[in-house]
Amino acid sequence: MKGKSVLTAQLSDPHSSLPGPDDITREVLENGITVLTRPNFNSPSVVVSGYLSAGGLSDPDDKLGLSDFTAAALMRGTAKRDFQGIYDALESAGASLSFNGATHTTSFSGKALSEDLALLLELLAESLLEPVFPGRQIARLKAQMLTGLALRAQDTRAMASLIFDQLVYKDHPYSRPEDGFPETVEGIHRDDIAAFHQQSYGPQGLVIAVVGAVTPQDAVQWVRAALGGWKNPAQPQPPELPSLAPLAQTETQKFDIPGKSQSDLVVGVAGPARSADDFIAASVGNSVLGQFGMMGRIGDVVREQAGLAYYAYSSLSGGMGPGPWSVSAGVAPEHVEQAVELIQSEIARFVNEPVSTEELSDSQANFIGRLPLALESNAGVAGALLNLERYNLEMDYYQTYADRISAITQEHVLAAAQRYFDPEKLAVAVAGP
């Protein structure tokens, strides 16, 4: 994050404006943990969200899903409390806490009344620092995960997305599903989880946001009390993301799932990373392509006019690396080929013609109007603060957001479309009967 290392201020009504340098506090603890806070005394609750740099990128190929498994196992028992004891403590305070594994990070999210913030942080610290991974709980969790993977294999939408990633990100870590495959999860044992936790978990790269009815000073103090003593000298640096080779031609793959009445398809490419200069232009363009109104141009052509799809829309998922920029649709099996052709023609139009001034202004107004709504809740603000840090955005990013969106021109959108899309070089993934 750019700017001063500590920016502290407190407004009488933090919700009266978008978060910015006047009411966001950033402090780095002695052990490397970054604490972001924003007060909101309009409600009695506090949200605690964050992430640490232990993710699926570090998973060995034969134990894919290890990071995700570890995240799911953190609250199955600690040195101080068993599984039931953790949930009894949360329930007694009406609080919540959960962990999720992802490609680059393991994330956590919790909520409690401000009077119970110390308890929430205590449980967070226990789960991160002192999990014991009880054998019986690990066996139970593995069975649940294998059941989830079996269900995924019968889910046309999920499998189309997985196949798409394998086509677009061939020979790249993003081709691997975070939750692994049945054979890799089957090979993960308690000792693997304990070793991964010991080696990969630590304070370096951990970012935590505290938003709600607590002063920045108190929030930092409570986080320091809970996590400030955590050390792991052996904690490795996150693995570097390799470069991605673009598609040389259109690649099509179908995954057969007998007995289904619907086929799901995903068509697209690898788009910009969240930190890319043209990410905002691509996002505005994507809204025109398949988001705004009745799912944009894609929804209008494929669903409304042709009547081919149960749903049809485009999405852009920029993250630490080149996220997918794709069109998804659910169609009757006999309409797959026709739907793909219509999608390809709309992508061709998107890269050959500027969006109209009306399409652009409608999309811009939608983006500008959505932001305050996304930041109405403490959880929304916490997520926004984490994004500032994760993607090295300016402290005033949200306060200048409307200007950034308004500055996007038809030429910017067309340039972004042409940079990432080639109608002759698309990944086409289909799952269904």
d(CA 53, CA 56): 10
Confidence of residue 14 (pLDDT cuts 50, 70, 90): very low
Q: Residue 15: its pLDDT value, please?
A: 36
Smallest Cα–Cα separation from 10: which of 37, 48, 29, 43? 37
Confidence of residue 9 (pLDDT cuts 50, 70, 90): very low
Q: Residue 295: its pLDDT value, please?
A: 79
Domain boundaries, the chain: 14-227, 251-432
pLDDT digits (tens, 9 = 90+) for 109-136: 999 999 999 999 999 999 999 999 999 9
pLDDT digits (tens, 9 = 90+) for 61-109: 999 999 999 999 999 999 999 999 999 999 999 999 999 999 999 999 9
In angstroms, what CA-CA distances link 278 with 74, 288, 420, 422, 424? 38, 16, 10, 17, 22
Is the pTM value of this prediction over 0.85? Answer: yes
Q: What are phi and psi of 87, to 5 degrees?
A: -75, -30
User: Is residue 219 within 8 Å of residue 385, measured between CB atoms?
Assistant: no
Q: Taking the CA of residue 86 as centre, how many other CA atoms within 13 Å lie in the half-sphere pointing to its CB?
A: 25
d(CA 20, CA 397): 7
Quick one: average pLDDT of 288-307? 90
Q: Domain 14-227, what fold? A: Cytochrome Bc1 Complex; Chain A, domain 1 (3.30.830)
Quick one: average pLDDT of 151-175? 97
Q: Residue 291: its pLDDT value, please?
A: 87
Q: Residue 13: its pLDDT value, please?
A: 38
Which amino acid is present at 73?
A
pLDDT digits (tens, 9 = 90+) for 308-341: 999 999 999 999 999 999 999 999 999 999 999 9
d(CA 234, CA 374): 38
Structure tokens that stand for 92 in this block = 């007694």
| Whole-number average pLDDT of the chain | 94
Which DSSP helix (H) or strand (E) runs through 189? none
Please determine, for residue 252, whether its predicted confidence score (pLDDT) is greater than 60: yes
Which DSSP helix (H) or strand (E) runs through 52? strand 45-52
pLDDT digits (tens, 9 = 90+) for 390-417: 999 999 999 999 999 999 999 999 999 9
User: Is residue 385 within 8 Å of residue 38, measured between CB atoms?
Assistant: yes
Quick one: average pLDDT of 283-297? 90
d(CA 238, CA 205): 9
Q: Which CATH homologous superfamily contains domain 251-432? A: Metalloenzyme, LuxS/M16 peptidase-like (3.30.830.10)
